[in-house]
Structure 1
């Protein structure tokens, strides 16, 4: 279906959603829809009070979260209009989905180039990653059969994977690969960028965000090994972190002399994101490992109301934020069409960081954030070449690609464009395009203007 007809489908189903309410429910159904929105707001407020209060207030908030949506459904059923509301909501969901799809631009993929086969590939594998995917998919045996030297990490002792990678390069390795989590991949990717040799991702971790955005097959990690025999190369960016004030009083920077002349990257590298604030504070707690849910519920009230933890201040290029509860800095921005902002990145070569800051001070703002998503007042989403995170403390917790660290303030996040050569299979599932953020005005213009242009009556 063309974008024009998809936009028209969005308009028709959106009008149908309203028509169903009016024709079958009349004025009563519109009142019940208002009740539904009120129930959603109360539920969001209840969640906020559960997270920011303790004792009997938390108990009452939990009851509100459970009772509010149930009460709305009972009111619909009592009025005999439950089916009307459900049908209308289904039509509205279809309208939004169609409208978003119509607005999605045909994004070009990252440029790729053919490349010669690696002569001495070196691959580090973590047998514990992803619940044992290395053994489950026979990754070590398959990689060796394709000519790679494989080192299996010892689960019983801590090993410096970056040093293993550096030694492999000194011994003549012309490709570095990792079968493990994003944190391990970032450490080895930094060595590959430093020596300007290809890097291969084998998605044997749990979440595999970096692999997802490279278009790799996360269901079958063994297919990533096809990059050794029939691979192409992508040039992607790396994020990196500098902590504390540089000794020379400058702002520091990557040791990068150009896309193909990498001399090293200063600071800690991240392939996905660095998080600060609430989440980073919680995972630092010694109790978190043994009781995640209990630790979160115990610590969140103080962290969200900023009576505990560090008070952050953030500068992303020209933007400043004072007192956000959570900050996420990503290597390239997440897609605007993702309500949570944590799904996919369209590209890994834009040369920009993404920054999401959450700043909510009361139940009303929490409800608005839930209702409006990325357009909510409590969420700030921007792109920048540098993000500076400071605090009222000499050091702050930080989560870097899932690894819990404590960094000296101020913390600078920057991006090094195109410094990493990633070897991927020529044939891979790819990255599905996410729908764009909904804009009804643009949908209407698309549905009408394109129709006139197709018949030669487009406006001059």
Structure 2
């Protein structure tokens, strides 16, 4: 007997919303007009994507002409709909279909909480804090005073030349039984690797700018001081670590176009302008990357992202950090027509793997490892270390919301059917 877990009433709501949307268009617009709407939308999307590719890969007048097309194409489609007096139909159709997709995903979502371990509070915690990180969050939230009051020793990073790895290793030699970082994800990764090497728990304080690692751990990014509660009232998670060569990463390693832009000295002060200036060469004249895993081989990619566990495309988050796998995404776009094909996700390869190799026809390739710009010798070998890191977190934290699954029509239909019909299937 085959069963489907989820919420049947939401599955039925999803099918009802989709049916109402379809019937609405057919009744109000008619079959011929419905086909015209579909073709107009598809053509407008294709033109917009092709123009966007030209905008990113050219400079000067061609770039700004392409930018104008990116802006005008959706407007032309909207005008055509308005002249046919069908704007309200399209809006309502879109809302109903969005509701159907959201209900379908919610129907199939089964929350999966990570396993937690109750362990004694650390006796000699050691925290490394960067006072400049996150625009000065260390000082703004009085993290040094609060951590010291909870019994932690605190080391303040006083310049870019500080070797935080050496500081962490010395703390271990001095008897620290927990290592922690209030800073960016790159610093988090360096110290996390040392904590894993010595079997010590690691504390993440969300005092960086973006705090992607803290977000996927379910920590409070708006109040870094709340992370310090783990020192006295905490529990442990066992999570994976990624390795690129002999370097640890907690989030991801990127190669190709984005990594080349991040390596520019001007990027930190003028991100948008630097990206627009460097992308044409990075996308069309950069190294042709090759990706090899035990499951896929991709050649000619412009960008590759390999993450510590897989990101969800729809949320940009990792619902779990303990699946023992790398998330792999490779993007291959050789021209405007390939950009159009992205509508159907052609040119985008997604997979999971335990190990991966990134190679190029050059002795070294630009990489961004947890936001740190590096130049790595090829081939670059990456792997996952399952359960390598003990992370100590507060018992009370916002948490990672259940990530909706990919919409599987057959599973959704089985869930939506009456109970008797679902239970009778062998």
- Using structure 1 for the length normalisation, give the TM-score: 0.88
Distance 1:183 1:449, change over 3 A: farther
Contact 1:449 1:458 in 2 (8 A): no
CA distance in 2 between counterparts of 1:75 and 1:441 reads: 36
- Deviation digits for residues 290-348 of structure 1 (CA, Å, limit 9, x no counterpart): 4332332232223222xx2222111112421111100111111113xx33xx7111211
Quick one: which of 347, 361, 379 aligns to 1:410? 379
Distance 1:289 1:208, change over 3 A: closer
- 2:251 aligned residue: 272
- Deviation digits for residues 324-376 of structure 1 (CA, Å, limit 9, x no counterpart): 100111111113xx33xx7111211111111110011222321232x34xxx1
Cα offset, 1:289, TM superposition: 3.5
CA distance in 2 between counterparts of 1:365 and 1:441 reads: 30
Distance 1:134 1:31, change over 3 A: same
Contact 2:199 2:389 in 1 (8 A): yes
Q: CA-atom RMSD, angstroms?
A: 1.8
Give the 3-state SS of the residue equivalent to 1:35 in structure 2: helix
Contact 2:180 2:203 in 1 (8 A): yes
- Deviation digits for residues 254-293 of structure 1 (CA, Å, limit 9, x no counterpart): xxxxxxxxxxxxx110001000011111122233344332
CA distance in 2 between counterparts of 1:291 and 1:205 reads: 19
CA distance in 2 between counterparts of 1:282 and 1:91 reads: 40
- 2:224 aligned residue: 221
List structure 1 segments (4+ residues) > 3 angstroms apart after TM superposition: none
Instruction: Count matched residues.
Output: 421
- 2:181 aligned residue: 178
After superposition, residues 257-406 of structure 1 pair within 5 angstroms as 267-305=246-284, 308-335=285-312, 338-339=313-314, 343-369=316-342, 371-372=343-344, 376-406=345-375
Cα offset, 1:52, TM superposition: 1.9
After superposition, residues 37-436 of structure 1 pair within 5 angstroms as 37-107=42-112, 109-154=113-158, 156-242=159-245, 267-305=246-284, 308-335=285-312, 338-339=313-314, 343-369=316-342, 371-372=343-344, 376-436=345-405
CA distance in 2 between counterparts of 1:212 and 1:418 reads: 19
Give the 3-state SS of the residue equivalent to 2:301 in structure 1: coil
Contact 1:113 1:233 in 2 (8 A): yes
Contact 1:354 1:384 in 2 (8 A): yes
Distance 1:43 1:216, change over 3 A: same
Distance 1:294 1:427, change over 3 A: closer
CA distance in 1 between counterparts of 2:334 and 2:95 reads: 33
Distance 1:79 1:430, change over 3 A: same
CA distance in 1 between counterparts of 2:269 and 2:395 reads: 43
Contact 1:137 1:221 in 2 (8 A): yes
Contact 2:201 2:390 in 1 (8 A): yes
Cα offset, 1:176, TM superposition: 0.6
Mark the runs of 5 or more structure 1 residues left unpaired by the alignment: 243-266
Deviating more after overlay: 282-291 vs 190-199:
282-291
- Using structure 2 for the length normalisation, give the TM-score: 0.95
- 1:458 aligned residue: 424
Distance 1:213 1:292, change over 3 A: closer
Contact 1:22 1:30 in 2 (8 A): no
Mark the runs of 5 or more structure 2 residues left unpaired by the alignment: 1-5
Cα offset, 1:112, TM superposition: 1.1
CA distance in 2 between counterparts of 1:218 and 1:290 reads: 24
- 1:261 aligned residue: none
- Deviation digits for residues 85-106 of structure 1 (CA, Å, limit 9, x no counterpart): 1111110110111112222233
Contact 2:291 2:298 in 1 (8 A): yes
